[in-house]
Amino acid sequence: MRRSGRAGALQYVPELTWMLFLRILDENEQREEEQARAVGASFSPSLEYPYRWRDWAAPEGKKRLELQIGTLGGFMSFVNGDLLPALRRLKDKPGATSRQKIISEVFSSIEKTGIDTERNLLDILDKIHELSLEQVDETHMFTLSQVYEGLLQKMGEKNNDGGQFFTPREVIRVMVKVIDPQIGETVYDPCCGTGGFLAQAYKHMREKAKTADDVETLKTRTFYGREKENLVYPIALANLVLQEIDEPHIWHGNTLTGQEVYGGLFAGAPALFDMVLTNPPFGGKEGKDAKTRFAYKTGSTQVLFLQHVMESLKPGGRCGIVMDEGVLFRTTENAFVQTKRKLLNEFDLWCIVSLPPKVFVNAGAASKTNLLFFTKGKPTKEIWYYDLSDLNITKKQPLTVAHFEEFFKLLPERNISERSWRVPVEEIQAKNYDLKAVNPNRKEKEDKRTPEELISIIEAESAEIAKALGTLKSKGI
């Protein structure tokens, strides 16, 4: 990819997305065809010759060999002028299957390959073909999907311009474990990005599957999401298919305005969901089209998403949501206060986790965030807080599941500790619905350094300052 000048993750991930997707799709369909033949059943492939990976991309593929023997540039012309348009048109075929619609949507924004030369493209295809789908680890996930998840993590790294679409995997794992989705329950993410919450929920639920019907339910009737960004939507679809979810029901459009780009994969989705797992965009602002659709009108993206989530849950439904600290403590704007009042009056907000300030540093975001967990149907009587805000989190020392070890021990009984405490709802109401975590149990750390050590530190820092000033003066600054 770097030989093609596509060094940034947001540049090369979409390119690798469609290649990896077609690779695993072809392997899956070959396996399904063999299984059908073994029991005498018919099989209708999603793709026919010459559009299957084995035909045009595999080193010994019939179509590839034919194109390489032909005129110079013929292979690139086939990819851009024949293959990609044919894949984009699949959803328009009469009687198009769910899988064909998914394929079509994965390619919806790909007009042509971004690889600059035919030789580079062939080399990349060969490398992808070498990845063996037969190598399966203990969680039964294909090697390809693991490779792809690593690429998505790179999308979330600072300065890669992908942070807005990426929630740190450790945060996702903790939230899924707390909400604990069960087979038969529906899972919804109204701003799903690359599909991280849905993919992790699938992994969590897959371990509970005991029958073929359980697996079928998980793969086809469980996971629902919405995504606005044209670049990210097909990546989410491909990611979820690579994670073994055969039918990810992802709606393409603006969740808050209702403006739809493509809703074919969301057809038949329930009006309400058993659980919501989500991380709404930080600091976003919405216009009139979004504001008019909500009871409490504001331009704040996170507050509007919180209202949408509350409207999307079934009675008894559970939610885990990442919230900017500002949403919790702002008490002067009517929409913020009214939204939080509704949350406490109609939902049991049973837990708030105060995260360290730099949890999202790898995703390029410096916002101070919290995790909110609530259940629809009963008013809040008491909120159990857990405080991790004092942890020193950096890009090299990120937040891990190990940091939540005590949290999971205390959670079942909502026990009190140096990091945890309870607040009755009346106290929150008296503060005009200020939900910010203020830990009453935190012990101030004693500075045990000796006077001599402190003097030494001051002298060293003074020397550094003097050196820097000397350098500036020598340069006439």
Determine the pLDDT at residue 242.
82
Residue 475's contacts (CB-CB under 8 Å, 6 or more residues apart) are: none
Which candidate, 97, 229, 70, 100, places its Cα nearest to that of 163? 229
**Mean pLDDT of all residues in the chain?**
88
Task: Kindly list the distances between the CA atom of residue 70 and the CA atoms of 7, 59, 66, 216, 462, in Å, as whole numbers in the listed order.
Answer: 31, 16, 6, 45, 72
What's the pLDDT band for 140 if we cut at 50, 70, 90?
Answer: very low
- Arithmetic mean of pLDDT, 461-465: 73
**Which CATH code fits 150-430?**
3.40.50.150
**Residue ranges of the chain that CATH labels 1.20.1260.30:** 2-134
pLDDT tens, 115-127?
989 999 999 999 9
pLDDT tens, 168-192?
889 999 999 999 999 999 999 999 9
Determine the pLDDT at residue 166.
72
| More confident call, 129 vs 458 | 129
Task: Kindly list the distances between the CA atom of residue 111 and the CA atoms of 79, 93, 175, in Å, as whole numbers in the listed order.
Answer: 10, 19, 37
**Residue ranges of the chain that CATH labels 3.40.50.150:** 150-430
Encoded tokens for 281: 């965009």
Determine the pLDDT at residue 269.
97
- The answer to whether the beta carbons of residues 224 and 187 sit under 8 Å apart is yes
User: Is the peptide bond preceding residue 50 cis, with omega within 30 degrees of 0?
Assistant: yes
pLDDT at 95 over 80: yes
pLDDT at 161 over 50: no
pLDDT tens, 291-318?
999 999 999 999 999 999 999 999 999 9
pLDDT at 381 over 80: yes
The share of the chain scoring above pLDDT 70, in percent, equals: 85
* Diameter over CA atoms, the chain: 86
**Which CATH code fits 2-134?**
1.20.1260.30
| More confident call, 463 vs 246 | 246
Lowest mean pLDDT among 38-47, 115-124, 461-470: 461-470
- The answer to whether the beta carbons of residues 421 and 439 sit under 8 Å apart is yes
- Arithmetic mean of pLDDT, 182-211: 96
